[in-house]
């Protein structure tokens, strides 16, 4: 949605308003101000809230996982999330935060959260940046080698065919050229002109969304283990990218465009974590689709944030414990249903190039 032209985004929102104001389709109370396009920073912050809630950071009795006992920032998890269009990072730094602060308060405790969203650096957009870069550096050629694609894979893009060579070393060079050099004020820098405070050496980080899918494809994320290092990502990517497209199909039983994309994103993660985020060499990460029985998604964090914003939690009671007040419950459950409806609409409503809804 954030990549759409304003007119196209407005058309989508009008369709959403039309559906949600139709009592035959949505029996719940609804006002137009209750739905809008999330900012990238909100998406990152809500992901952070979700992961830390499920990891028991917040002292919420009776929560879905029993409630936490700690509210210190040192115990908090950082998150990085790769969507289709954007890349998010959120964590609490150990020093003074000079920019990109996202105010978060849960049960009276303030968390000095750093959040940044890089629009245009999600999975689909980074794949496009690679082909745009290769096309620009091979002017006029109709067949171009793509080191970030699996061997024997080929994709047509306009009048150009990109052919995979499965070469992580050359793919890293492409990524470093695309991501460029950091140049920001204040410093230190993240990607390009963006300030990013130093990530604490012992900070736990959780990788969300497309990162998790790639880690599973690379064989890092499985039922036995979710913990890994950047070195693990590098080694697994080298093994995966060395295979041909047919070998990956035979070994995994999978088909589709994302087989080569897993090679690309594996290299992206390595360069991003080493060069841009600058994680320590000993940093360990976790990923997956389940934390203590809960699903780490931004929607859960959005509900927590919205409830806190409205000032409903004045003490140990509230929608997070079994002593939920009857006055708060309908609002909380309506918010949950509304988020679910919007998620459904996001998948069910499409916009054509001329802005017509389909």
Establish whether 127 is an annotated binding residue: no
Compute and round to an integer the Cα radius of gyration of the chain.
22
CA 306, CA 308: separation in Å to the nearest integer?
Answer: 5
8 A C-beta contact, residue 13 and residue 36: yes
Establish whether 122 is an annotated binding residue: no
For residue 342 the two structure tokens come to 């919007």
Establish whether 86 is an annotated binding residue: yes
Is 43 marked active-site? yes
Where are any strands of DSSP class E within the chain?
A: 77-82, 86-91, 101-106, 109-119, 143-146, 154-157, 160-164, 204-209, 227-228, 285-287
Establish whether 76 is an annotated binding residue: no
Establish whether 334 is an annotated binding residue: no
Selected catalytic residue, list 6, 41, 43, 284: 43
CA 225, CA 207: separation in Å to the nearest integer?
Answer: 14
CA 113, CA 105: separation in Å to the nearest integer?
Answer: 10
DSSP line for 60-75: -TT-TT---S---GGG
For residue 340 the two structure tokens come to 């679910």
8 A C-beta contact, residue 313 and residue 9: no
CA 92, CA 75: separation in Å to the nearest integer?
Answer: 10
Please enumerate, by residue number, every residue annotated as part of a binding site for ATP.
Answer: 84-88
Please enumerate, by residue number, every residue annotated as part of a binding site.
Answer: 84-88
Task: Give the residue numbers marked as catalytic.
Answer: 43
């Amino acid at each position: 949605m954030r990549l759409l032209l304003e007119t196209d985004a407005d058309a989508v929102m009008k369709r959403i308003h039309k559906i949600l104001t139709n009592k035959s389709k949505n029996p719940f109370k609804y006002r137009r101000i209750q739905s809008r396009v999330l900012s990238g920073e909100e998406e990152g912050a809500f992901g952070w809230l979700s992961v830390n809630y499920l990891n028991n950071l917040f002292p919420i009795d009776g929560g879905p996982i029993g409630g936490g006992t700690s509210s210190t920032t040192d115990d908090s998890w950082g998150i990085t999330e790769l969507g289709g269009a954007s890349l998010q990072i959120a964590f609490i730094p150990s020093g003074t935060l000079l920019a990109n602060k996202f105010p978060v308060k849960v049960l009276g405790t303030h968390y000095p959260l750093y959040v940044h969203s890089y629009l245009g650096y999600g999975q689909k957009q980074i794949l496009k940046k690679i082909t745009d870069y290769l096309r620009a550096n091979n002017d006029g050629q109709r067949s171009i080698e793509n080191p970030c694609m699996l061997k024997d894979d080929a994709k047509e893009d306009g009048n150009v065919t990109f052919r995979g060579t499965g070469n992580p070393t050359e793919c890293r060079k492409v990524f470093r050229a695309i991501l460029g050099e950091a140049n920001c004020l204040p410093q230190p820098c993240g990607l390009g002109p963006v300030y990013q405070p130093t990530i604490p050496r012992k900070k736990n980080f959780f990788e969300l969304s497309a990162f998790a899918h790639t880690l599973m494809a690379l064989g890092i994320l499985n039922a036995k283990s979710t913990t890994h290092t950047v070195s693990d990502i590098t080694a697994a990517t080298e093994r995966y990218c060395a295979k041909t497209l047919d070998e990956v199909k035979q070994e995994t039983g999978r088909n589709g465009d994302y087989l080569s994309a897993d090679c690309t994103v594996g290299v992206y993660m390595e360069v991003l974590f080493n060069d841009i985020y600058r994680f320590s060499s000993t940093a360990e990460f976790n990923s997956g689709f389940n934390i203590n029985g809960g699903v780490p998604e931004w929607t859960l964090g959005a509900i927590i944030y919205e409830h806190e914003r409205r000032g409903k939690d004045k003490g140990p009671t509230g929608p997070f414990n079994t002593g939920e007040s009857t006055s708060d419950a309908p609002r909380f459950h309506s918010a949950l249903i509304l988020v679910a409806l919007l998620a459904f609409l996001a998948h069910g409503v499409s916009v054509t190039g001329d802005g017509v809804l389909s």
